[in-house]
Amino acid sequence: MTNDWKTLAEAKKKSVDELIPQEWRIPTEIKSNVLGLHETFGILNEKEIAITKNYKVKELLSKIASKELSSVEVATAFSKRAAISTQLTNCCTELLFKEAIERAKWLDDYLEENGQVFGPLHGLPISVKDSHFIKGVDSTVGYVSFIGNKAKITDDAAVVKILRDLGAVIHVKTNVPTTMMTGDSENNIFGRTLNPNNLKLTAGGSSGGEASLVKQRGSLIGIGTDIAGSIRIPSLSCGVYGIRPTAHRFPFEGNQSPTRENALCPISVVSGPIAHDLEDLNFVLDLILNHSNASKYCHDMLPIPWNSKIELPSTIKVGVVLECDSVPIQPPLKRIIKEAVSKLDKNSNFEIIYLKGFPSYKEGWATAFKLFISDPKDESIANIFKSGEPMINSLSKGGMEVYGPPPKIPDEIFELVSKKNEIKNKWIDLFNEHDLDVILAPGAPHTASPHDDFGIAPYTTVWNLVDFPAMVIPFGAVDKEIDQYDDVKIDYCPCTAPSYDKEVYHGGPGHVQLICRTLQDEKLLKIAELTDKVLNKAI
């Protein structure tokens, strides 16, 4: 690989930017909140604004099936909105507009000739994280040394195959951080993804492009991945819904890894959906997991159909983790979590139990991190240096050296796996002791931070470590009139919580995270639906 990494990166970015038609280009640079601006440039006509702004997934699909809207009209509208979104926030990588509209034309012809839709997602544009393979398209995942790797991609990712079988249209791939292991989606090819709520805040990582695009309604549903919070961190940063399913429940096969395949790390990376609406997320999960070819396309997927009709107990017992002493959370988020718990406590469907004596998030994070760096070749970092490109700021300033060298194989790996199992058993004991249905906890020590300051991710990573399904629900916002920051220092990481700037943080999304036990994904979604109604729809 040549050392002229800038030339390679610039050529790749230019080749993608040129796929945006001239008439879809925005006229000026925007430097603040971009929500609401998409309709102001004259790029979207009134019908396209309505298509992208006014419907949930089922409503949109119904209009396509009835021929009130064509698949081409819908694909064009969302392609335009995605083009605007990526110009505003740098959220997309590969732009598949031409292919999407060609696919939509085929779907329209199919409907006309057969008198019925091709599948239950007929004509719905869906975005996927850059790591998901699409034949003939790069999956650089932010590495300059991976530019051109489409030559090695001989098949689509399992979830892409399923989505196409269901009738969906893939119109874009979305941006990630180099290594896919930081809370800020930046790389030296496509640049930094921005938070549409406030461009000075991170969009999160590693599925930051996906969450940013979904928040802007450039896609109603997107597919991300998560090994330490990479779906939930962007979701809580941007204010959308995102779920980390139990490992092997959702199809994952066909993703570009930043490191060696079949590494010894016993923490599974999973794919999962990010959505603008919780009903949409549940609908698409049901279709994907009940697809007849799902386990054929993904060999290690558990053959467990999605059961959307699961019944909840009359009273849902919620174990609340306000914060872990070793990983304190910032005052704005603490207020938001307390407000959420108060709302649930006043609703007869919920019983609140404040948890004490739960496992240390510090210990969980340290165990997980050691397992993440268990590859002695450290290829996720080595792949950066192959091109001569520099390390992005969120990697270089993270202070990861405090955790020491990678574990020695095999002795320390065995010890870490034993610790992992011990931590999981302690959480299961808590569920059993209090007969809990769900745990409610923060998803991070703070809300969306300024760029490169997100820091570590103990409040999401612990659930990857123990393989519990977990999801983020947006709720509340930072309020500059009442909220303060403490600049809390976490005792085992040189990262500090970002300094509070009232103007920067004001209006940033709040959230809650819900967690159920392994394989209770359907229960988690049912509880999330009821929780969302209480928190955001005032029932």
Active site annotation includes 326: no
DSSP sequence for 56-119:
-HHHHHHHHHTTSS-HHHHHHHHHHHHHHHHHHH--EEEE-HHHHHHHHHHHHHHHHHHSS-SS
Q: What is the largest CA-CA distance in the chain?
A: 65
- pLDDT band per the 50, 70, 90 thresholds, residue 399: very low
Mean pLDDT of 267-273: 96
- pLDDT band per the 50, 70, 90 thresholds, residue 400: very low
Active site annotation includes 219: no
Which has more pLDDT, 148 or 324?
148
Give the whole-number percent of the chain exceeding pLDDT 90: 81
Q: What is the pLDDT of residues 60-118, one digit of tens each?
A: 999 999 999 999 999 999 999 999 999 999 999 999 999 999 999 999 999 999 999 99
3 state DSSP class of 343: helix
In this predicted structure, the answer to whether residue 262 has a pLDDT above a threshold of 60 is no
3 state DSSP class of 186: strand
Catalytic residue among 230, 271, 387, 394: 230
Predicted pLDDT at 356 = 93
In order of their start, the domains of the chain are 5-297 (3.90.1300.10), 316-536 (3.90.1300.10)
Mean pLDDT of 226-242: 98
Which has more pLDDT, 116 or 29?
116
Mean pLDDT of 484-505: 66
In this predicted structure, the answer to whether residue 20 has a pLDDT above a threshold of 70 is yes
Catalytic residue among 12, 80, 129, 526: 129
In this predicted structure, the answer to whether residue 42 has a pLDDT above a threshold of 90 is yes
In this predicted structure, the answer to whether residue 404 has a pLDDT above a threshold of 70 is no
Which has more pLDDT, 500 or 380?
380
- pLDDT band per the 50, 70, 90 thresholds, residue 492: low
| Distance from C-alpha of 449 to C-alpha of 256, rounded to nearest angstrom | 28
In this predicted structure, the answer to whether residue 188 has a pLDDT above a threshold of 50 is yes
Type of residue found at 295: S
Q: What is the pLDDT of residues 302-324, one digit of tens each?
A: 999 999 999 999 999 999 999 88
Please tell me the least confidently modeled range out of 175-184, 336-345, 372-381.
372-381
Active site annotation includes 200: no
Predicted pLDDT at 376 = 79
In this predicted structure, the answer to whether residue 147 has a pLDDT above a threshold of 90 is yes
Q: Which two tokens stand for residue 74?
A: 């819908």
- Encode 124-150: b = buried (16+ Cβ within 10 Å), e = exposed: bbbbbbbbbbbeebbbbbbbbbbbebb
Which has more pLDDT, 58 or 505?
58
- pLDDT band per the 50, 70, 90 thresholds, residue 437: very high
Binding residue ranges: 180, 206, 227-230
| Distance from C-alpha of 445 to C-alpha of 386, rounded to nearest angstrom | 34
Q: What is the pLDDT of residues 325-358, one digit of tens each?
A: 888 888 899 999 999 999 999 999 999 999 999 9
Query: Which DSSP state fits 207?
Result: S
Catalytic residue among 206, 212, 374, 449: 206
In this structure, the strands spanning 221-226 and 241-244 are: unpaired
Q: Which of 492, 377, 360 is nearest to 419 (CA)?
A: 360
Predicted pLDDT at 516 = 98
Phi-psi region of 142 (alpha: psi -120 to 50; beta: other; left: phi over 0): left
| Distance from C-alpha of 139 to C-alpha of 413, rounded to nearest angstrom | 30
Query: Which DSSP state fits 369?
Result: H
Which residues have a Cβ under 8 Å from the Cβ of 31 and sit 6 or more positions away? 199
φ, ψ dihedrals at 151, nearest 5°: -65, -25
φ, ψ dihedrals at 511, nearest 5°: -165, 165
- pLDDT band per the 50, 70, 90 thresholds, residue 28: confident
Ranges 15-29, 230-244, 252-266, 396-410, most confident: 230-244
In this predicted structure, the answer to whether residue 406 has a pLDDT above a threshold of 90 is no
Mean pLDDT of 394-414: 70
Tell me how far CA of residue 120 lies from CA of 64, 124, 164, 272, 284, in angstroms.
11, 9, 10, 19, 10
- pLDDT band per the 50, 70, 90 thresholds, residue 375: confident
Give the whole-number percent of the chain exceeding pLDDT 70: 94
In this predicted structure, the answer to whether residue 401 has a pLDDT above a threshold of 70 is no
Type of residue found at 362: K
Predicted pLDDT at 503 = 75
Binding residue ranges for substrate: 180, 206, 227-230
Query: Which DSSP state fits 274?
Result: E
Q: What is the pLDDT of residues 514-525, one digit of tens each?
A: 999 999 999 999
φ, ψ dihedrals at 471, nearest 5°: -145, 155
Predicted pLDDT at 377 = 81
Q: Which two tokens stand for residue 483?
A: 């909220």
Tell me how far CA of residue 213 lies from CA of 14, 86, 370, 443, in angstroms.
20, 8, 32, 20
Mean pLDDT of 484-506: 66
Predicted pLDDT at 265 = 80
In this predicted structure, the answer to whether residue 391 has a pLDDT above a threshold of 70 is yes
Residue 224: beta bridge partners? 272
Which has more pLDDT, 408 or 297?
297
In the chain the first and final C-alpha atoms are separated, in Å, by: 59
- pLDDT band per the 50, 70, 90 thresholds, residue 29: confident
Residue 174: beta bridge partners? 92, 129
| Distance from C-alpha of 127 to C-alpha of 66, rounded to nearest angstrom | 24
- pLDDT band per the 50, 70, 90 thresholds, residue 373: confident
The chain-wide mean pLDDT, for the chain, equals: 93
- pLDDT band per the 50, 70, 90 thresholds, residue 493: low
Tell me how far CA of residue 361 lies from CA of 69, 330, 438, 517, in angstroms.
49, 16, 18, 17
In this structure, the strands spanning 509-515 and 125-129 are: unpaired
- R_g of the chain computed on alpha carbons: 22
In this predicted structure, the answer to whether residue 402 has a pLDDT above a threshold of 50 is no
Q: What is the pLDDT of residues 354-372, one digit of tens each?
A: 999 999 999 999 999 999 8
